[in-house]
Copies of this chain bind each other. A is one copy, B any other.
Amino acid sequence: MDKFITKDTPTSDDVLTVIAHLPTTSLDATVEDGFFAKLTDKDFMRVAVLLAQKGFDEGGCPIGGVIIDNATHRIVGKGHNTLVQENHPYNHGETSAIRDAGRRDFSKTTIYTTLSPCDVCATLIYMRQFNRVVVGDVTSASGNEDMLRGKGVTVDILEDAHGIELYAKYRKAKPDLDIEDWKGLAAVTKG
């Protein structure tokens, strides 16, 4: 059986939206390896942003993450923040993608995150020995990039205008949710 998305399918936000929404375990049955092989850092960051958009549309915090195998470019994990959707205090873009990827040698992978990682996600990235992290927004937040470099992780900044705009819109609309996501509910209730 042929796969719907092939190496000749043009890279567009439309097809990347399908990939963002398909469960990771369904990608094998629907996308040719050659399609992933041609994708660039910018494309994978866009998939992460489309996951952030999905989170936003669900009423949650718009932050997404994607993990690829460095050799094949196949997506091995992805996800988005589910603080609201799963009542989950720390399922951020990165923790979500890492949970989705499961037990794996992350030193052979790259993680794309739409927003500069918080302390927990940055710590998880070095403890799980990621080779490289690509950050899509250091305008809305930043801080752990140098710590990660100090731990031997390659950190690249590749800002995505769509993602930055989406985060700014969300932060303005739901400031309390943004504070809870970063600092915990105590920071909201204590003002």
Task: List residues of chain A with CB under 8 Å of any chain B CB.
Answer: 83, 87-91, 95, 98-99, 101-108, 118-120, 123-124, 127-129, 180, 182-187, 189-190
Contact = CB atoms under 8 A, between A and B. Distances in A.
Secondary structure of the A contact surface, majority rule: helix
Number of copies of this chain that the complex holds: 2
Top-8 shortest CB links A-B: A107-B186, A87-B102, A129-B186, A128-B184, A129-B184, A123-B123, A105-B186, A105-B185
A106 to B, nearest CB: 6
Contact of A90 (B83, B124, B182, B190): B124
Given A90-B95, A119-B127, A129-B183, 5 more contacts: A90-B124, A105-B185, A105-B189, A106-B185, A127-B182
A42 to B, nearest CB: 27
A95 B120 CA distance: 11
A101 to B, nearest CB: 7
Contacts of A180: 103
A99 B89 contact: yes
Contacts of A106: 89, 184-186
The residue among A98, A127, A182 with the most chain B CB atoms within 10 A of its own CB is A127
B127 A183 contact: yes
20 contacts: A83-B103, A88-B102, A88-B103, A89-B98, A89-B101, A89-B104, A89-B106, A90-B124, A90-B127, A105-B184, A106-B184, A106-B186, A107-B186, A119-B127, A120-B123, A120-B124, A127-B182, A127-B183, A127-B184, A129-B184
